[in-house]
Structure 1
């Protein structure tokens, strides 16, 4: 396996490189290998097996089927919060400027979608009857520091609430602005 790890989708590989590689995904290159795509950036490489990308597309998941081996639960929650913050800000600017702009509309939609999908990824780490994410769901410094700073963000109730809020915000934005674009 490449030094950077194994991703479940190209999107997950890019997100991972944004978090850990110098220059992030903006500096990434993709090459085909016999068993998948190699995504390289900042001296790291991530393998995306062809079957994993196909499974992600078939399942309709943004980041991939199954549980991530690259990003931990704390990172997914932070990613979700980052995209939600972007969606809120972009949505306000979109609403303030009444001129139709499909690109700006799609940016807000994508940000709300990614926010919801990232929280859904964190929920995958939650054991079936558990009320909060277990310590082993946090293996990166970023993930552990997020949990240490705000342990209440990693309960089932909070994650499900965030997921519902992000999905509802996406639905509301689409309902309110679909005719604007």
Structure 2
């Protein structure tokens, strides 16, 4: 088996497996090794160094600190859009039936949070000029996203998306936190 990829957090490892293995995180197994946690699914291995996971937790960085070596800028933008779509749909369904349901409330909050965090990850790839360099796209999925909509990867667009996701999260919490109380 080839050397495992390196993730900056367990969450990033599971997300990566979801992108490269059907139902990757659902079938993932986690074991300890001398160097960190080894997350495996469908013949793919990802190493999460113990220090990387601890650093991510201390920093409050969902996906980890530094720049990802597993997911490229295009994938992060797509992940952010996917979580935002889920949050929007979940928020609308929650508003239509605001019965006390903490689980549904927290699912929408988590989706908006992950959407924002994913876009923040894409922003880490940007250069001074405001656009990611060509080597920020190394996967077929990420490259296709950039080629299809290059305007999605400018600093202005990513910062706008990040602000929208954070405002949507804050607005949902403000409007519905009481509805989720049991």
Q: TM-score range by the shorter chain?
A: over 0.9
Q: How many residues align?
A: 180
Extract structure 1 runs of 4+ deviating beyond 3 A: 1-4
Q: Please state how far the C-alpha of 1:130 moved relative to its aligned partner.
A: 1.5
Instruction: Please name the residue that 1:37 is paired with.
Output: 37
Instruction: Please name the residue that 2:58 is paired with.
Output: 58
For structure 1, list consecutive stretches of 5 or more residues without a partner in the other structure.
Answer: none
Aligned partners of 1:57, 1:88: CA distance in 2, in Å?
A: 27
Q: Please state how far the C-alpha of 1:132 moved relative to its aligned partner.
A: 1.3
Could you report, residue by residue, the CA deviation over 1:39-70 in whole angstroms, capped at 9, with x for unpaired residues? 00010100000000000000000000100000
Q: Please state how far the C-alpha of 1:162 moved relative to its aligned partner.
A: 0.1
| Backbone CA RMSD of aligned residues | 1.1
Aligned partners of 2:17, 2:3: CA distance in 1, in Å?
A: 12
Q: Is 1:39–1:47's contact at 8 Å kept on the other side of the alignment?
A: yes
Aligned partners of 2:12, 2:2: CA distance in 1, in Å?
A: 15
2:143 is the counterpart of 1:148:
no
Alignment of 1:25-104 (within 5 A): 25-104=25-104
Instruction: Please name the residue that 1:166 is paired with.
Output: 165
2:80 is the counterpart of 1:115:
no
Aligned partners of 2:22, 2:108: CA distance in 1, in Å?
A: 27
For structure 2, list consecutive stretches of 5 or more residues without a partner in the other structure.
Answer: none
TM-score (norm 2): 0.96
Aligned partners of 2:152, 2:47: CA distance in 1, in Å?
A: 31
Aligned partners of 1:3, 1:35: CA distance in 2, in Å?
A: 13
- 58-67 vs 21-30, which deviates more? 21-30
Aligned partners of 2:50, 2:98: CA distance in 1, in Å?
A: 43
TM-score (norm 1): 0.97
Q: Please state how far the C-alpha of 1:22 moved relative to its aligned partner.
A: 3.6
